[in-house]
């Protein structure tokens, strides 16, 4: 009877140890995945901080004012090129894109 109880307790200890090891393994995998996610988010954060610094810079503000509003610096001359619009290339079904540019 003592041997049966001892074997039963031994089985319970082995089962508990196996469950603990399995849970430990799952937690390590989860931790590794979370660390990877943290690294990706830190990289994204650094990129966004760089973008925010660029948007706040005088260089960006000047480029934005030039492209969106057509502003120029004092002493500069604005030159506007008025060219006719280029019609889109007409292609036949199945024709490769370069064939419409260079012919046969």
In a domain, 97, yes or no: no
The model's pLDDT over 18-41, given as tens digits with 9 standing for 90+, comes to 999 999 999 999 999 999 999 999
Q: According to the model, what pLDDT value does residue 70 have?
A: 85
Buried b (16+ CB within 10 A) or exposed e, 75-99: eeeeeeeeeeeeeeeeeeeeeeeee
Instruction: With a cut of 90, say whether residue 95 has pLDDT above it.
Output: no
* Range of the structural domain that residue 24 is part of: 7-61
70, 82 contact by CB (below 8 A): no
Model confidence at 104: pLDDT above 60: no
Residue 45 lies in a domain: yes
Residue pair 42/48 in contact by the 8 Å Cβ criterion: no
- What local confidence, expressed as pLDDT, does residue 82 receive? 86
Q: How far apart are CA 20 and CA 44, in angstroms?
A: 36
Q: Is residue 80 part of a domain?
A: no
Q: Does residue 36 lie within any of the structural domains? A: yes
Domain assignment of residue 51, yes or no: yes
Please state, in angstroms and rounded to a whole number, the distance separating the CA atoms of residues 66 and 79: 12
Total number of domains in the chain: 1
């Amino acid at each position: 009877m003592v041997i049966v109880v001892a074997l039963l307790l031994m089985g319970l200890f082995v089962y508990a140890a196996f469950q603990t090891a399995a849970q430990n393994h799952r937690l390590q995998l989860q931790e590794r995945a979370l660390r990877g996610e943290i690294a990706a988010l830190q990289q994204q954060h650094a990129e966004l901080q760089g973008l925010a610094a660029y948007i706040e810079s005088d260089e960006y503000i000047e480029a934005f004012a030039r492209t969106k509003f057509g502003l120029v610096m004092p002493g500069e001359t604005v030159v506007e090129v008025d060219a006719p619009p280029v019609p889109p290339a007409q292609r036949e079904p199945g024709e490769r894109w370069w064939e419409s540019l260079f012919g046969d």
